Amino acid sequence: MALKPKKWLMSVFGVGNHTEEETTSEEDPMHTMIIPQGTNVDGRIIGNDSVHIDGHFHGDIKVNNIVIVGRTGELQGDIKAQRVLVNGKFQGNIIADSVEFLEHGVGEGEIQANKILVKGVWHGKLYCGGLFIDAGGKVFSNAKIKKIVVAGILEGNIACKELRTLPTCVLRGKMFADEIQNEGGRIEGYIGKYSDIAMQNQEMAYYLNIFNSRSDYILLEAKEYEVDVEEELKKERGKGEQEELIDTSVEKGEE
């Protein structure tokens, strides 16, 4: 039976099944900073507006909105934002409410988020409430995740509370889960109970406590990914590095 990602994503994780055209249409051009294709920029971005990268950007981004890396975009740096969508290349760390790697998205680093969708490729650590790996998605990771639905490839050392495997999935490595719903696919490796290893490992026990105490798919509180723009700008100006800072609010003449 063919998997219908949109239905699964909306019902399981409450995130969209976006194409690049759809994500572009979501942006408000009056409140979006664009790094166009063919442009190379070094610096830092802090503000309340969205950021859309179609060129090359090297530096950190902290915004209370959406960060989009388009198909021709390349971003090397850390992101803190409400939401992150990647359809190009990304290297760095992300803290956000939701993260989506679209079909052409390739990333490496570490992600902390409440919801993650992977239709492209991700290499690196994951800490999240809910992870959905689409049939074309590939994740190579050491991860601690509350709930996982796998239709693509998941490889690494994975600790979670709930694991659901779909017919197209491939699992490789060590999987620790207290609840497993196996609907098919191929499993190569070891599966054990998360609660068993949590009894012997303090870090694992910390995440088990979060898994058991917070609502579905919530790993981060809003304050952990929200940006205090004024405070961040004060820090940057205190370093005497204003020339490297791109303040999206000041650029548009906002106070």
Domain locations in the chain as residue ranges: 5-237
Taking CA atoms, 239 is separated from 43, 229, 232, 243, in Å, by 14, 16, 11, 11
Residue 242: is its pLDDT beyond 50?
no
End-to-end CA distance of the chain: 54
Which helix (H) or strand (E) element contains residue 154? strand 153-165
Count Cα neighbours of 209 within 13 Å in the Cβ-side half-sphere: 7
Answer for the pair 96, 78: CB distance below 8 angstroms, yes or no.
no
Residue 91: is its pLDDT beyond 80?
yes
pLDDT digits (tens, 9 = 90+) for 50-90: 999 999 999 999 999 999 999 999 999 999 999 999 999 99
Q: Any idea which of 21-25, 51-55, 154-158, 179-183 has the lowest mean pLDDT? A: 21-25
Answer for the pair 216, 114: CB distance below 8 angstroms, yes or no.
no
Sort 213 into a burial class: Cβ within 10 Å, 0-12 / 13-18 / 19+.
exposed
Confidence of residue 250 (pLDDT cuts 50, 70, 90): very low
Q: Which pLDDT value is given to residue 201?
A: 76
Nearest to 8 by CA among 94, 139, 137, 172: 137
Q: Any idea which of 83-97, 203-217, 222-236 has the lowest mean pLDDT? A: 203-217
| C-alpha–C-alpha distance, residues 70 and 35, integer Å | 10
